[in-house]
Amino acid sequence: MGERTLATRREAMANVLILGANGQLARNTTRVFLRDTDARLTLYLRQAKRLPNPDPSRVRSVEGDVLDRKTLEAAMAGQDVVYANLAGDMKKQAENSVAAMLATGLRRLIFISSMGIYGEVPGERYRSVLDPYRDCAAVIEASDLDYTIIRPGWFTRDEKVSYQITQKGEPFKGHDVSLNSLSDLIVKLVLTPGMESRHSLGVSAR
């Protein structure tokens, strides 16, 4: 990363709400946020005691289920960006997240879905296994939020940050992507107003 980029990142004191903060990708991204930025993080997760607070001066934890509107809306107070890293009933989770954002006046949402939801991976037919990922993306795309949907390939633990992006409507390239690459992209999206707004991004190793 160039010095200018780092300086720009450090100037932006974003308040970021991370939903599903105990997820594998969310934990990796939390580490990158703390290492590379001055963002203040709210880690929203079920059973908060599972995740020790990595830096109490910048991080707080909220125990909650995304389907619990009251707790979710309370956690949204004072935030700038929501980064949703969820799994399971993702349609309901997306509906609840969007409704809570609208109710609390939040606009910017980064949402992790999956490659394959538009049939965009050459030679692959994922069908019903991807229904939750397809459905949550449809909910978000139908909202008027300032969203970016991420469609990652299979996660790898390759240390390298090296990735390529394909837009909705283009064939997905490759099959996998490192957690570090995804975290790099998520941090940039969170800290760069307007970046890839209302886009759905396929992300794979370069």
Ligand X SMILES: NC(=O)c1ccc[n+]([C@@H]2O[C@H](COP(=O)([O-])OP(=O)(O)OC[C@H]3O[C@@H](n4cnc5c(N)ncnc54)[C@H](OP(=O)(O)O)[C@@H]3O)[C@@H](O)[C@H]2O)c1
Q: How far apart are CA 71 and CA 65, in angstroms?
A: 8
Which positions from 41 to 70 touch ligand X by CB under 6 A, shown as an x/- string?
A: ----xx------------------xxx---
Nearest-approach distance from CB 2 to ligand X, in angstroms: 28
Nearer to ligand X, 13 or 154 (CB): 154
Main-chain phi, psi angles of 200, to 5 degrees:
-120, 115
Is residue 112 part of the contact set for ligand X (CB under 6 A)? Answer: yes
98 binds ligand X (CB under 6 A): no
CA 129 to chain centre: 20
- CB neighbour list of residue 65: distance below 8 Å, 6 or more residues apart: 46, 71
Q: What is the C-alpha separation between 71 and 67, in angstroms, rounded? A: 9
Q: Does residue 85 belong to the site contacting ligand X (CB under 6 A)?
A: yes
To 5 degrees, how large is the angle CA 156–CA 62–CA 95? 70
With CB under 6 A as the contact rule, which of the stretches 18-26, 33-41, 74-82, 190-198 interacts with ligand X?
18-26
- Residues forming contacts to ligand X in the complex (CB under 6 A) are 20, 22-26, 45-46, 65-67, 85-88, 93, 112, 114, 152, 154-155
